[in-house]
Amino acid sequence: MARLPALKRFAKAHGLKMITVRDLIAYRVAREELVERVATAKPPTQFGEFSVHGYRARFENVEAEHVALSMGDVASGEPVPARVESERLTGHALASPRCDRRDQVTAAMKRIGEEGRGVLLYLRQEGRGIGLMNKLKAYELQDQGLDTVEANERLGFKADHREYGIGVQILMDLGVRKARILTNDPQKASVWLYGFEVVERIPLEVPVRPTDRAYLSTKRRELGHFLPAVPDDERG
């Protein structure tokens, strides 16, 4: 496989133009409709009245369903508070105290409710994008002493396998063009390079418990998350 320097020489020698994979993704996200809004409802929540939008993403003969919760006027052109949440069965549905994801959803919805406008995306990419069964295998490896990053890598995956292009398309379908991202993850504020502007990163402060201390320590140490200092000798 040719490396970048060789490709540049080849392109120059033959008068060809070059683009990156990132450029190709940006082009497709900006010009192709990869998502379809299929339903909108207004179920009550403890944080105020949200509209819940159901989306179906279609690409390469694969269908995936996602949800966006919006409050207030998010299409005014002003920067919108936005939280991008990836599915996590154990944290969201089973309320596992090993995971802080349910607390982050609560904090994000509370923040949006207080401001009176914003969007929470719920993307169906379980376990940092590796799928439910593989996530359960990763938990099994964590029970044997590996941390969350080591477990994913032992299974042959990257530490974080998620992709956010579909999330950008959903936000743009809702009329959002500028966002204030609610996250402790620096990667979420840096991957939105598809003609979509992130103007601010807003941290989500959630309590640190003894049961998720090791997990949060790993996220801070291995993935660069902006989190309170926790003992680095604990692993999760």
Residues classed as catalytic:
160, 162
The CB density around residue 101, as the number of other CB atoms within 10 Å, is 19
Tokens for 44, please give them. 């009550």
214, two tokens: 């090791």
Angle at the Cα of 148 (from 142 to 154), degrees rounded to 5? 75
Structure tokens given for 222: 């291995």
Between the CA of residue 186 and those of 51, 120, 201, 209, what are the distances in Å? 28, 18, 8, 22
Nearest to 148 by CA among 64, 87, 213: 213
Can you tell me the distance from the alpha carbon of 46 to that of 42, in angstroms, rounded to the nearest whole number? 13
Question: Rg (Cα) of the chain, in Å, rounded?
Answer: 19
Beta strands in 75-189 (DSSP E): 80-86, 118-123, 178-182
